[in-house]
Structure 1
Amino acid sequence: MMTTTMGMTTAVTMTTDRPIRMTVQNRLTITVAVLSVLALTVVGLVLYTVEANNVAGRNAASMSQEIAEMRTFAQNGVDPETGERFTSVDQILSQFLAQNQPDEDEILFAFLTDGRVLYQGEPNAPLSGSKEFEKAVAGVSGDGGEINLTIAGDDYEGYVLPIATGGQTGSFVVVHNVSASHSDLTQVMQIYTVVALAAALLITGISSILARRLLSPVTELRQTAQSISGGDLSNRLATRGNDDLAELGRTFNDMLDRLESAFETQKRFLDDVGHELRTPLTILSGHLETMDSQDVDDVDETRTLLLDETDRMARLVDELLILARSRRPDFVRPAEVDVPSLLGDTLAKAKGLGQREWQVATPPTITFWADRQRLTQALLQLAANAVEHTEEGQSITFGAGHDDSHIHLWVRDEGRGVPDEIATDIFDRFSRGSTEGNGFGLGLSIIKAIAEAHGGTVVLDHASKGAQFRMILPKGPQ
């Protein structure tokens, strides 16, 4: 029989890489950079505010301490060195300045009754000779109070305490150079700014590297998906680890396996249909072209032949559809199957296949999880093959066995057996044990598909006489 293989033409729509304006890696890197800068800025602001308040608190505490000491000194009115009472305001102010050393960035002033101004602390020329400072002190010298002024670009704050005794009035002034007090804080904040910028750059660089490494499976997923759009289903993702991205990669690979299997099944189905239907269609076309429509006998003969060929084509399509559906997850619908009952029912149905000595070897009393209808279909197909290769009166036996994890269902006959040269290829599609009969060589392929759909397999056992085909199936949940 001459056969012609019909190829399948597949139209593939190629896709080009669309430009990506902003990748997930870039967005993550920018987000981390912005959040790092914001966080470091907030930390810097909080640090500056706290330290500035601390400086202000220390200045206020120092001034309060100096004022309190001056009040006590003036109220006591006794010179601690001589033990004699002070006789003038100028003596009180001069003696207090001589006995006290101000803190850093702090200056103590004594405005004497004769107009002179004494001071204790680091020399401060802009402040000492400032008319603005003298005017500010004079403005509150009557009742005392705080003063705030800016001289030569520096901020000052102070407190004026009037001292009066014997009809004379002078002023004691404590002044803090606020700008100088904040100079150390300013220097610290400058250093913090440099360190914060370096830290932000370091965090951004590390986040970019980590994002690239963590998102590399996503990039590979995109590239693989684009290759699939081009028609290549062979690529797979390299999965490492047990995190979410690794699980995504494994799930994607499983999906590709199913797609590739589905496409391969479709391709094989179309190839098989083209391979096997071309010949009967050629026969139909040839007989229709040569038929004499005026010859009744020729019309009847052609009609009979065409009906026979269409029946064969219908059987072929049915068998190919079974093979094509065997890849679907709903091809088998497992339920609890009783082995003795399965073999008994199958034997009753097989007796209609031919006049043979039908037997059932004593099966084990056991149940397992499988699709009863599919197993019956497979056993009947094995029985039909056995009938085709045996003579009337020869025995065909159904049997079963089991081990710890598998059920073994077999059909044995006393026929001609399977030649060694085709034993390894007999389960391939369109592989036939002989040229006799009307089969297409798909029966054992269907049996193999049913066994594999159950998670098992089918084998040809060595037999001294005839042939024995055995399905090995998992027991499933017990």
Structure 2
Amino acid sequence: MTTATTMMMAATATTATTMTTERRIRMTVQNRLTITVAILSVLALTVVGLVLYTVEANNVEGRNTAAMAQEIAEMRSFAQNGVDPETGERFTSVDQILSQFLAQNRPDEDETLFAFLTDGRVLYQGEPNSAVNGSAEFEKAVAGVSADGGEINLTIDGDEYEGYVLPITSGPGGDTPGGDTAGGSKSGADNGLGSFVVVHNVTASHADLSQVMQIYIVVALAAALLISGISSVLARRLLAPVTELRQTAQSISGGDLSSRLATRGNDDIAELGRTFNDMLDRLEASFETQKRFLDDVGHELRTPLTILSGHLETMDSSDVDDVDETRTMLLDETDRMARLVEELLILARSRRPDFVRPGQVDVPSLLNETLAKAKGLGQRDWKVETPPAVVLTADRQRLTQALLQLAANAFEHTEVDQSITFGAGVEGDSVHLWVRDEGSGVPDEIAADIFERFSRGSTEGHGFGLGLSIIMAIAEAHGGTVVLDHVSRGAQFRMILPKGPQ
């Protein structure tokens, strides 16, 4: 039972891990970018909507307050003047003042004017279906402030209203009481207390704003969806190189180093693709160099190791002469293997960035120096053709190594009285360095493959066929090449190198 439970728990954990991994894979960078842009778009549009609503709501409230203040000011002026503008006679009662003012004024939209007469009647000017008409709640609110006047706020049938109550009184002989009131006729209007009321339907005045905001919400949502869609498409296009980068990296894990990214444009992602391709080039070159190195080592060391093994097995340890002969031969083979390994290491290092260390090289000085060293190879007619006075940006030691290797090859294929000549020339932005001899030359059948590894011009020499490969590697490390020129006698190998920055 315990074992079964443990297995079920392990299966559940594995399933949960798999589901978690799948969820992580589904949430790609493209999805995260799209969701982030969508959220930011919604937040930005929401903030803009709130700001617009707040500003416009304040404008509506300001217009309502200004309209009410204007009506109240006109009513005060009308009552204090005390003269009917139509007849030119003075008012005789508060009711006459109120009724005449209502008759001569038209309220604004969403505004209603009320006159509470002294006999209890209520007159109004404005919306005939206003919910406040005949509303007991409205009349109660007006009665609460009719003595001193003031603002009123109430909600009727779900609509909000705000207003202002202005008391209208007239004392004996036309006197006007103090306080927030407006005097009536100075010809002695009847005593009494009336009220002038301005009411605004706040809900109705905000209706247009609410409708505009509803339209804004729909448009904002549509804009957010459009922005999200466009960002998703752009993210997919922008991240396509990253996806290709991941796929290429996966193929590299499988051992395929030939894949490359298609780079377009000059942005950061394109530069990343080019950098990745450069890295793949270096990796492929490094792996190819290692593979060739191992193949070359295996190919060339197999023979001397076989010789060593065979002679050690057949050696008669009791025969001193046989032991000495075998020892001499084994030491010679060991020296050959050491030389082979050294040459292979040079070829392997030629792909490294630090294989050459460029500097300013004076060509005449280089050739004269190399000639002095080459004379140690043996008796030949060593010469230097007068080189031009030119400075080359290159690794002096590597160039010396290449020229001496060419000199050694020429020495092996010439006789004592034959000449070996060093020379140089300039063509455009290139410097040519050559070694020419009067020896047997290079047979046409091997001329095309002479620079391949282990390719030898003859079977008489003691080399491994790596000398010209090393020379080619040195030239290529400088950005140049090596060619075999056709001459009437002997052979001429010429290195073509860029002059480089001066």
TM bin (shorter chain):
over 0.9
* Alignment match, 1:272: 296
* Deviation per residue, 1:258-289 (Å, 9 max, x gap): 11111111111111000100111011011111
Distance 1:44 1:254, change over 3 A: same
Give the alignment of 1:303-342 within 5 angstroms: 303-342=327-366
2:257 counterpart of 1:240: no
Any idea what SS the aligned residue of 2:109 has? coil
2:75 counterpart of 1:74: no
Instruction: Give the letter for the 1:189 counterpart.
Output: M
* Deviation per residue, 1:324-373 (Å, 9 max, x gap): 01111111111111112111111111112122111111111222111111
Instruction: Give the letter for the 1:404 counterpart.
Output: G
Stretch deviating more after TM superposition (331-340 or 202-211): 331-340
Distance (Å, rounded) in 1 between the aligned partners of 2:48 and 2:485: 79
Stretch deviating more after TM superposition (119-128 or 424-433): 119-128
Instruction: Report deviation, 1:26.
Output: 1.2
Contact preservation (8 Å) 2:93, 2:191: no
Instruction: Report deviation, 1:374.
Output: 0.7
Any idea what SS the aligned residue of 2:353 has? coil
Any idea what SS the aligned residue of 1:126 has? coil
* Alignment match, 1:148: 153
Given candidates 129, 132, 146, the residue that maps to 2:134 is 129
Any idea what SS the aligned residue of 1:308 has? helix
Instruction: Report deviation, 1:247.
Output: 1.3
Contact preservation (8 Å) 1:113, 1:168: yes
Instruction: Report deviation, 1:29.
Output: 0.7
* Alignment match, 2:401: 377
Given candidates 23, 27, 31, the residue that maps to 2:28 is 23
Contact preservation (8 Å) 1:17, 1:226: no
2:192 counterpart of 1:192: no
* Alignment match, 1:474: 498
* Deviation per residue, 1:279-334 (Å, 9 max, x gap): 11011011111111111111111111110100000000000000001111111111
Given candidates 284, 292, 295, the residue that maps to 2:319 is 295
* Alignment match, 2:370: 346
* Alignment match, 2:282: 258
Any idea what SS the aligned residue of 1:118 has? strand
Stretch deviating more after TM superposition (119-128 or 201-210): 119-128
2:390 counterpart of 1:366: yes
Instruction: Report deviation, 1:464.
Output: 0.7
* Deviation per residue, 1:394-428 (Å, 9 max, x gap): 11111111122111111111111001111010000
Instruction: Give the letter for the 1:247 counterpart.
Output: E
Distance (Å, rounded) in 1 between the aligned partners of 2:214 and 2:364: 90
2:452 counterpart of 1:428: yes
Q: Spell out structure 1 runs of 4+ moving beyond 4 A.
A: 16-19
Amino-acid identity (%)? 86
Instruction: Report deviation, 1:17.
Output: 11
* Deviation per residue, 1:158-192 (Å, 9 max, x gap): 00000011421100000011111111111111111
Instruction: Report deviation, 1:124.
Output: 3.2
* Alignment match, 2:305: 281
Any idea what SS the aligned residue of 1:148 has? strand
Given candidates 433, 443, 448, the residue that maps to 1:409 is 433
Contact preservation (8 Å) 2:150, 2:164: yes
Q: Aligned residue pairs: how many? A: 463
Any idea what SS the aligned residue of 2:59 has? helix
* Deviation per residue, 1:63-116 (Å, 9 max, x gap): 011100000000011111111000000000001001101011111000001100
Given candidates 163, 166, 179, the residue that maps to 1:161 is 166
2:483 counterpart of 1:464: no
Distance (Å, rounded) in 1 between the aligned partners of 2:69 and 2:22: 74
* Alignment match, 1:181: 205
Distance (Å, rounded) in 1 between the aligned partners of 2:317 and 2:339: 29
* Alignment match, 2:187: none
Distance (Å, rounded) in 2 between the aligned partners of 1:126 and 1:407: 103
* Deviation per residue, 1:164-223 (Å, 9 max, x gap): 114211000000111111111111111111111111000000010011111111111122
- Name stretches of at least 5 consecutive residues in structure 1 with no aligned partner: 1-15
Contact preservation (8 Å) 2:436, 2:493: yes
Instruction: Report deviation, 1:22.
Output: 2.2
Distance (Å, rounded) in 1 between the aligned partners of 2:158 and 2:129: 13
* Alignment match, 2:469: 445
Instruction: Give the letter for the 2:96 counterpart.
Output: Q
Distance 1:41 1:19, change over 3 A: closer
Distance (Å, rounded) in 2 between the aligned partners of 1:357 and 1:126: 127
* Alignment match, 1:49: 54
Q: Taking CA–CA contacts closer than 8 Å with sequence separation of 6 or more, which of the two structures ends up with the larger relative contact order?
A: 1
Distance (Å, rounded) in 1 between the aligned partners of 2:137 and 2:364: 118
Distance (Å, rounded) in 1 between the aligned partners of 2:229 and 2:390: 65
Distance (Å, rounded) in 1 between the aligned partners of 2:22 and 2:199: 72
- Name stretches of at least 5 consecutive residues in structure 2 with no aligned partner: 1-20, 171-189
Any idea what SS the aligned residue of 1:80 has? coil
Distance (Å, rounded) in 2 between the aligned partners of 1:237 and 1:446: 32
